[in-house]
Amino acid sequence: MGSPPEPTRDLPLRSSLRSGRRPSRRTASVRRTFTATLRCLDELAVEGARVSVHVSDLDRGTIVLSGDDFVTQPIAGLGVVPLLIEVAAGFDAGTIDPLEIVERESVEPIAVQGVWQRLKAPALPLTDLAVLTATGGDELAANALLERVGLDAVRARLEKLGLRSSALLDRLRDHRGPDDAPRFALGSARELAAVFGALVNSEIVNAAVSAQVAEWLSFNHDLSLVASATGLDPFAHEDDEHGLLFINKTGRDDGVRVEAGVLAGPRAGLAYALIVCFDDLSVMHRLRAHEAFRTLGVELMEYVF
């Protein structure tokens, strides 16, 4: 899978993620490795899973862990991140009104997941749909946003951002037929980690767009994979009393689990992404994949604290 390079030096966290707080001084480096994560990922690869991982240190600008991070793989719902970037860019440029109302009946129904179709409100503004998309992976809300901005605009945004291994192929669907794209979205662990690192460093489009997307993602409720090791409250983790700073997004599909994000503590800040594509033959196969995510989360926590 690869090997974790040794950290070299300490620098202050280069971002506005701390919302105006003075960054705490990094303590002296200790030997921090990702041997348990590598062992878990190697075991999954031996069983036939396709695994990609990338972890980079935001302070030093160095790669901490990588393995097949250049390989393009399906990323399921994590593909909404470039969609959210395009929506936020439209809000910032004034070409899209955040309070523009979208009627639920105007969007093709989808039964996979989401809360909007279970709410009494028959219509919501675009800004609320962005929140539903980021926080709960609401697929109906995501499709409404995609219909508003257009698939071509999201693809053009990916090209402007220089994301050559990432693509948004189609809207979210209950079932994919022979005339549909085989996947919702594709990406590589290297680019996913880079996007999240750029968001917290205000480098995606501009500072306002980066801050908006990072804010939406900071409300994400799915802390069941890598983030399960953080001990954060899934419903209120944007202002942790122990100084843990965190944003993430997950993606799930049949035989696909993926998570990317940024985790920062008093010792370091990390951008990470892990993609596991596996044969979902039993609950145990799925649990082994989930365990690899949790193991990475534990070692990320050890690194930043």
Q: Which residues contact 30 (CB under 8 A, 6 or more apart)?
A: none
d(CA 53, CA 72): 11
Task: Kindly report, residue by residue over 97-119, the tens digit of the pLDDT.
Answer: 999 999 999 998 887 667 898 88
Buried b (16+ CB within 10 A) or exposed e, 225-250: bbbbbbebeeeebbeeeeebbbbbbb
Confidence of residue 31 (pLDDT cuts 50, 70, 90): low
- Give the model's pLDDT for residue 275: 98
Cβ-based neighbour number of residue 161 at 10 Å = 18
- What is the model's pLDDT at position 182? 92
Instruction: Give pLDDT, residue 113.
Output: 65
* pLDDT of the residue at 77: 94
Section 4-16 average pLDDT: 36
Tell me the whole-structure pTM to 2 decimals.
0.89
CA distance linking residue 299 with residue 36, whole number of Å: 8
Helix (H, G, I), strand (E, B) or coil at 305: coil
Band (pLDDT 50/70/90 cuts) for residue 252 is very high
What is the mean pLDDT of the segment spanning 230-255?
89
Query: Do the beta carbons of residue 72 and residue 193 sit within 8 Å?
Result: no
Closest residue by Cα to residue 117 from 91, 136, 98 = 136
Residue 266 in this model has a pLDDT that exceeds 60: yes
CA distances from 295 to 59, 241, 303 (A): 23, 23, 13
Length of the chain: 305
- pLDDT at 112 (0 to 100): 67
The pLDDT value given to residue 126: 98
Helices (H), the chain: 35-46, 80-93, 126-136, 139-149, 151-160, 189-200, 207-218, 283-304
Q: Is the predicted pLDDT of residue 9 greater than 70, yes or no?
A: no
The model's pLDDT over 273-289, given as tens digits with 9 standing for 90+, comes to: 999 999 999 999 999 99
Residue 164 has which token pair? 């050559």
Q: How distant is the alpha carbon of residue 78 from its chain centre?
A: 6
Exposed/middle/buried for 29, CB within 10 Å: 0-12, 13-18, 19+? middle
d(CA 124, CA 121) in angstroms, rounded, equals 7
User: In 3D, which of 35, 12, 10 has the Cα closest to residue 24?
Assistant: 12
Among 282, 274, 280, 279, smallest CA distance to 298 is for 274
Token digits of residue 220: 């994400």
84/133 Cα distance (integer angstroms): 8
Q: Which of 1-5, 156-160, 248-252 has the lowest average pLDDT?
A: 1-5
Distance CA 227, CA 83 (A): 23
Of 86, 72, 79, which Cα lies nearest the Cα of 156?
Answer: 86
pLDDT (tens digit, 9 = 90+) per residue, 140-180? 999 999 999 999 999 999 999 999 999 999 999 988 889 89
Domain residue ranges in the chain: 35-79+166-172+184-304
Question: Do residues 245 and 237 make contact, with C-beta atoms less than 8 angstroms apart?
Answer: no
SS3 annotation, 49-98? CEEEEEEEECCCCEEEEEECCCCCEECHHHHHHHHHHHHHHHHHHCCCCC
Query: From CA 114, how far away is CA 139, in angstroms rounded?
Result: 6
Chain-wide mean pLDDT for the chain? Answer: 89
Alpha-carbon distance 129 to 145, whole Å?
A: 7
Task: Report which of residues 186 and 27 the model is more confident about.
Answer: 186
CATH superfamily of 35-79+166-172+184-304: DD-peptidase/beta-lactamase superfamily (3.40.710.10)
Digit-coded pLDDT (tens) for 71-91: 999 999 999 999 999 999 999
